[in-house]
Structure 1
Amino acid sequence: MRVLFVTAVMPSHYFVMAPFAWALRAAGHEVYAATHPELVDTVAASGIPVVGAGPPVDFARRYRERAGTGRPAAADPKTLFCDIADGMADDVVRFARAWWPDVVVWEPSALAGPLVAAVTGALSLRCPWGPDIVGRGLGRDNLPPEFGALFERFGLRLADVPEWWNLDACPEAAQVPGMARRLPVRYVPYSSAGRVPSGVLERPAGRPRICVALGITMTEVAGPDGFFAPRVLDALCGLDVELVAAVVAGQRPLLGTVPQGVRVVEDCALHMLIPSCDLVIHHGGTGTMLTAALHGVPQLALSHSPDQRFFAVHLARTGAGSHLPAAEAGPAELRGLVGELLGDPACRAAAAALRDAMTGLPTLADYIPVVERLAAGDGAADALAPIAQHIPQLIQQLGQQGAAS
């Protein structure tokens, strides 16, 4: 098969798809990716051949400008995603018409993906980042109206958008209910950070270890004011715990004077650090959230933006952690919540249950023959047979649809 991955906006949006691209290449399939210029190096660093598409985006600046208008419609990320897709469309469609993929894999910010699938007739696979804040599980009926104008440029209508399958690594307990055509898959952590500092694999003797990993998105969107790791570390440094602050190299100066006893690791692979921790404090980013969930580690999400709040609320509903808006995270509140989470056996049990649910799902390798059959035009029920035990409701729905037709 020829498989085209389409991604946009943020490195973390691509990270959720990268392991699937590796799995397809390892199985002998041809894989390319397309993205806007700022993400070309990120994708290339993962080992996947990449095509640049459209002009530079500078998503952080454009999001700030739209959010500053005070108009909810302008701040809606879907309208911005349409703008970005419009800029990428000509280059991506030109490449797709020359290469002609059998499958298009895309993530929710990359609306050029379903466009290319419609233009080429390719199988369409969507990879949500986590709880589905963009699509709300509703499928193509939830595409923004602005998307119609983009389709008209290529002689299509929104009705021509092929129904897609959701290859979803978010555990069902944390996902929005009723996601259409959901294919659950085991999450594989990936990020561009690949260093493993000495000592991160061993648990400290006698004291809980807390990882503080607050991501890079808010630093990019809000500037230094969006980096609130220093006040988290200051609030917790008096507790009888080991604090490990995980930052990218560019954030290290923003930490200022680090409290005594706090260990700082730069550009660390979080999936190597998190298994040795008793608690992860993060910003509500889905990559950190799913990595902690995969390893059964309780979490505290300190959300800063509406999307982070959405993800954090869905996490808290599983019982595997708590959510506190960053604006409300004073020293007393932080110390109180951390103490509760470290001492709560119910939270640890819920985190372990989430881990067990995730590790029991089909792997990306298990999905290779499924995608091969779907792309070849096999009937959905036959194509999905290898993973049928994991999707009984979907199999039942497909059977009912077949009987009705």
Structure 2
Amino acid sequence: MHVERELPNDEAHDLIDLVADIADKELATRAAEFEEAERFPRELFTLLGEAGLLTLPLDEDLGGGGQPYSVYLQVLEEIAMRWAAVAVGISVHTLSCHPVAAFGSPAQQHDLLPSMLSGRSLGAYCLSEAHAGSDPAALRARAARTTDGWQARGSKSWITHAGRADFYTSFLRTSDERRGGISCFHVEATAPGLSAGTPERKMGLRSSVTAAVHYDDVPIAMNRLIGQPGQGLHIALSALDAGRLGIAAIAVGVAQAAVDYAVGYARERETFGTRIIDHQGVGFLLADMAASVDAARALYLTAARRKDAGQDYGRQASAAKLVATETAMSVTTNAVQVLGGAGYVRDHPVERYMREAKVTQIFEGTSQIQRLVISRHLANGPGRASAPR
């Protein structure tokens, strides 16, 4: 699973080596068992938090790792190569911390970030609703003002870590204005009236819990409003381009794992007295798979470096997410094909990689939404694109 990486300094190389070592020892050895049992690996997020791996891209003065996004994404890729569900959990947790880190008051950052950044508390990002998956401005779950704060009512759908998270970064409607009527709140898991639905029975990422979150007159203290009233949609969208890059990196990690396994199998398996990798039909297929993974990795790194340089990167993030996830689906499907019948059974991990790849085309904006974002950039010209997230 060694990848020749482009990293900015020795510190980044050491970080990748540390991540690979932890992932090999703690993640790769558990992934198949936990996925089969649909067991959520909460203890591993504590371990990763203690190692400083949950919040690498956040500023050091806030307690984060201060790493460039191009390095953080390669960390995610390394983890996804061993266990995609854990990589997705890190990406979601990072998104959940972003509002407090970027928009919270100094008091909120002082009170909340130490636990959030250490792994002692795990976050959930509550934006999607059943009728508003790709249209966050259509949210209906509400928070109404009370004498001492807010009171929330409604439901969120498809929430990663629902029922397992320690806090819920919640985007709730506080007025009827379509885009300016949404606010962001930090809600503790212990809040009265907050509950999670039955976990979804998913095709893949089975060890990652996904469920609805219900707010039944949940009280929210005044000092748990993040940013200003009505600023919620801006806060949500400010993180989604970065989140898309996270999913792109995870998709590349899954695809790389599939290539590595298929190549290893093709080197060992013989037909007609010859290794199947030496049959041109298989060898060329593997070559195409490897080249497409390299291309997808280069694309997400290009977008990440634009982000690190303070340049606009929305179109590049959508392109990276689109290409990386489509690549992951194609490559994992072909990995199953290389293994033949062996690829279709759970004795080998490629069928799991194929199931995991599919969801990357759906969350953080479907492939169709990414095409819409890119096409609107093309239609409107540089710096003028306006598209749904």
Return the TM-score normalized by structure 2: 0.25
Q: Could you say which structure has the higher helix fraction?
A: 2
Of structures 1 and 2, the one scoring higher in RCO (CA 8 A, sep 6+) is: 2
